[in-house]
Structure 1
Amino acid sequence: MPVLWRRVLIFFLSLIPLAFIIYQTITNQLGADPAKTIVLFTGEWTIYFLFITLAVTPLRRLVNFKQVHFRWLQTHRRMLGLFVLFYALLHVTAFLVFILGLDFSRFAKELVERPYILVTIPAVILLVVLGVTSTKGMMRRLGKNWLRLHKSIYLIAILAWLHVFMQVRSSYFEAVLFGVIGVLLLGVRWYWYWQKPGRG
């Protein structure tokens, strides 16, 4: 499949979660607490896209079964990363609109009642920075610093997991599952790093 068509396909597939939550909103299927449902849904899809983006390189390097290659995914990793930012901004916007009602005077109180917001703020700021600097022009301007900057996606993954873990009230299943996936995706990179000549 040509690169352009793959790009279009991935773009519209990535919008399916948004279309789904809009449909549920229009048809009144959000449950007893619609605001909470929307905030949690957009937050979960932020993490899903974060994991998908982080999985591109391991898939490309590890999978080569019966001529099935994932090198083509590398071309679209930037778009997937931008969808992490997209859903993160939807998550933040949903919280500000539906939970705070755009009453920013309540924000300090929310930080006390919901301390997990504190780890969200730097993660979202970093995502915005990565989004702004994701263009080829910025890659040329930043040079080697571009790669260093974009490795902060690993810190974002850790902060995202902390955000989930700090919200646990009863079942730790989801937090543990996200933690295991995160450890695998970051751990394989750590292993490759120490396997480089001159290390280990």
Structure 2
Amino acid sequence: MGVVDHINTAARKVPVWGVYAAGLLWPAWLFYLAVSGAIGIDPVKSLEHELGELGLQALIFGLAITPLRSIIGINLIRFRRAIGVLTFYFVSAHLLVWLVLDVQILSEIWKDIVKRPYITVGMAAFILMTPLAITSNNMSVRKLGPRWRKLHKLVYPSAALGGIHYIMVGKTWELESLLYMAVILSLLGWRVYDSRRKQRARDLPTRDSANPA
């Protein structure tokens, strides 16, 4: 049995609720570290950063699930919805820390969104992610039908905006943020390639039937 088989076997033993439980507790643990002064001299900024980075990492992981299965054979599809919901949860926690603990003054929030481009971009990503989180349930899949897949393609611009937001937050060309963006662009590029490959495969029988030997 190869490494991929071992990973798939282990993944099948992990309950989906366990992923949800671990994800739900993670921000609480970070909040505890911030309160106890264990994550930097400015705990609010550190907590805000950690939650934002966690949201971006989860978003990237969710994008990587399909390529991992197609290219390597690692099958984590059963966790994809959980990862998507948790991504929105992490990003929402990041936003709440900024709103409640950082800005605090409600009248300043709109000013920051309008005047600070990195916040504008981040809010745009959050807005695009909101309908994805709301419709991440079986009832929405049934009611929306084929439109559900089209709606959930909003994850692609959300990921791109999330990567741009992370770069802009640093205000300098930091290697870490550039690497995150490179991974996001690679995953989005693979999606475009895979979509075109599947389209060519669907068109091939049509061309062959139109040009019989």
Any idea what SS the aligned residue of 2:15 has? helix
In 1, the alpha carbon distance for the partners of 2:148 and 2:185 equals: 24
More off after superposition, 39-48 vs 25-34:
25-34
Cross-structure match for 1:61: 70
User: Contact (CA 8 Å) 2:56, 2:162: kept in 1 or not?
Assistant: yes
User: Contact (CA 8 Å) 1:88, 1:124: kept in 2 or not?
Assistant: yes
Aligned residue pairs, count: 192
In the alignment, structure 2 segments of 5+ residues that lack a partner are 1-9, 205-213
- Give the drift of 1:164: 1.3
In 2, the alpha carbon distance for the partners of 1:193 and 1:90 equals: 33
Question: Which of the numbers 157, 162, 182 marks the counterpart of 1:155?
Answer: 157
In 2, the alpha carbon distance for the partners of 1:8 and 1:129 equals: 22
Cross-structure match for 1:25: 34
- Scaled by the length of structure 1, the TM-score of the pair is 0.87
Question: Which of the numbers 57, 61, 70 marks the counterpart of 1:48?
Answer: 57
Cross-structure match for 1:67: none
More off after superposition, 180-189 vs 45-54:
180-189
More off after superposition, 105-114 vs 83-92:
105-114
Sequence identity (%): 30
Any idea what SS the aligned residue of 2:31 has? helix
User: Contact (CA 8 Å) 1:51, 1:182: kept in 2 or not?
Assistant: yes
User: Contact (CA 8 Å) 1:17, 1:45: kept in 2 or not?
Assistant: no
In 2, the alpha carbon distance for the partners of 1:126 and 1:100 equals: 23
The reply to whether residue 79 of structure 1 matches residue 82 of structure 2 is yes
Evaluate the alpha carbon distance shift between residue 186 and residue 34 of structure 1 in structure 2; reply closer, same or farther with a 3 A threshold. Answer: same
Question: Which of the numbers 134, 140, 143 marks the counterpart of 2:142?
Answer: 140
User: Contact (CA 8 Å) 1:111, 1:118: kept in 2 or not?
Assistant: yes
Higher helix residue share: 2
Cross-structure match for 1:106: 108
In 1, the alpha carbon distance for the partners of 2:114 and 2:41 equals: 25
- Scaled by the length of structure 2, the TM-score of the pair is 0.82
Question: Which of the numbers 92, 96, 108 marks the counterpart of 2:95?
Answer: 92
